[in-house]
Amino acid sequence: MIIVLNDRISTDEVKNVKDYIIKTGARIHESEGTEKKILGVIGDKRDLDQMALEAFPGVEKVIRILEPYKLTSRKFHPRNTIIKVKDVSIGDLEPVLIAGPCSVETEEQITDIAREMSEKGVKILRGGVFKPRSSPYSFQGMGEVGAKWISEAAKKYNLAVISEVMEISDIDTLYDYVDIFQIGARSMQNFKLLKAIGKTDKPIFLKRGISATLNEFLMSAEYILSEGNEQVMLCERGIRTFVEFTRNTFDLNIVPMIKNVSHLPIIIDPSHATGRTDLIIPVSLGGLAAGADGLMVEVHPKPYEAFSDGNQSLNYDQMNDLLDAWEVIRESVLKLRKKKIEEIEKNVSDYAG
Ligand code: PEP
Ligand code: MN
């Protein structure tokens, strides 16, 4: 439920409305429209009476929200969320590029990739050190020493670092080495991990579960936001379908759909979504044209020697091809993005202005 207060409401009148809501056990999330204050009501609202609320002095209108997600909803927060990581803004006009190996393997490997990526204009370096692998016999990641290597390589080339946490104790282990915590697809519904990560002050990169619906995906983000961390970006990394020629199926639909229903940035990961190097460039372009706020790709100097996911990693030349292709459509995509932002601003003033 959203309560729009009029611009002449007194402090006492605001207090009366809030007391009434709090008495029912619900929580309040406050935000400001262009001119008016908005109270978002979260939690058990069984005792909240819409008509009674509308009768309070200073209340302009009460809007019911049918979706189960609240804090992640664009209705609660009409403008796009912009997440600042070092000098990068995620969710703003310019889509961000995140690249790096599936796994940090050696100090030399990650340092070489960091240098190459910074030369190509990438701002965020990825690299897993705790790896969720389907087989217990596969490479499980370098652990903390790998985190130290990626952090030092990133520092040398002025990049931000993103790496995955698989369990609660990984949060402390990685805290000083990374700028963004990644929650992998397999952990999307590890609710204890989501609650713990929601108590941190670093941005979170939440990947869509292998068979997660839109609502399940946004409810997982809701877990993080409801603990106080509002710096969440979502990632479409493909879902499991009957299609057998790719590792997963890239769900292009969810990119504009998320932009419709949520204010959180959505990043695409065509490496995991396709599992095939030859499909990464076309799928990247499709996703960016559809409104993605960024792109995460796996890159390795010698993909055929990679410890994990070599068959979905670009080599340096292929990464150049991707950047060239992006340059061809970039201006047009930015024009579309600008138009979208203007539409949002217009809706904000119609809604609460
Ligand atoms: C990864 O990013 O390397 C990864 C394991 O991704 P996902 O959780 O999407 O499978
Ligand atoms: Mn991978």
H-assigned helices in the chain: 11-23, 50-55, 107-119, 144-156, 168-174, 191-197, 214-226, 254-261, 270-274, 277-289, 316-352
Q: Report pLDDT digits (tens) over 15-37.
A: 999 999 998 888 898 877 666 78
Find out whether 288 and 323 touch, Cβ atoms under 8 Å: no
Can you give the residue range of the structural domain that contains 98?
A: 83-345
Beta strands at 232-236 and 37-42: parallel, antiparallel or unpaired: unpaired
Residue located via tokens 């619906």: 213
Residues 6+ apart with CB under 8 A from 252: 286, 287, 290
Q: Considering the domain boundaries, does residue 322 fall inside one?
A: yes
Residues 152 and 236 in one domain: yes
pLDDT tens, position by position, 276-291:
999 999 999 999 999 9
Q: Which residues line ligand 1 (CB under 6 A)?
A: 102, 128, 132, 184-186, 207, 237, 272
Ligand whose nearest atom lies closest to the CA of 247:
1
- Which residue, among 38, 87, 57, 28, has the nearest Cα to 226 in the 3D structure? 28
Q: Which atom of ligand 1 is nearest to the CA of 132?
A: 5
Do 203 and 282 have their domain in common?
A: yes
Quick check: is 29 in a domain? yes
**Total domains present in the chain:** 2
- Which CATH number is 226's domain given? 3.20.20.70
10-residue mean pLDDT profile of the chain (353 residues): values are 89 93 88 76 76 91 89 93 97 98 98 98 97 96 98 98 98 98 98 98 98 98 97 98 98 98 98 98 98 98 98 98 98 98 86 54
Q: What is the CATH number of the domain that holds 26?
A: 3.30.70.1140
Q: Is residue 78 part of a domain?
A: no
Q: Tell me: the pLDDT tens digits for 160-193?
A: 999 999 999 999 999 999 999 999 999 999 999 9
Give the C-alpha distances (Å, rounded to integers) separating 257 from 236, 254, 290, 292. Answer: 12, 5, 10, 11
Q: Within this chain, do residues 227 and 339 fall inside the same structural domain, yes or no?
A: yes
- Residues 53 and 134 placed together within one structural domain of the fold: no
User: Looking at the structure, do residues 175 and 225 belong to the same domain, yes or no?
Assistant: yes
Residue 140 falls inside a structural domain: yes
CA distance 14 to 12: 5
Could you identify the atom of ligand 1 that is nearest to the CA of residue 102?
A: 3
Cα gap 204→232, rounded to integer Å = 5
Separation of 2 CA from ligand 1 center, angstroms? 36
Does some domain include residue 350? no
Sign of the C-alpha dihedral computed for residues 86, 147, 211 and 310 taken in this order: positive
Ligand 2 centroid, distance to 279 Cα (angstroms)? 15
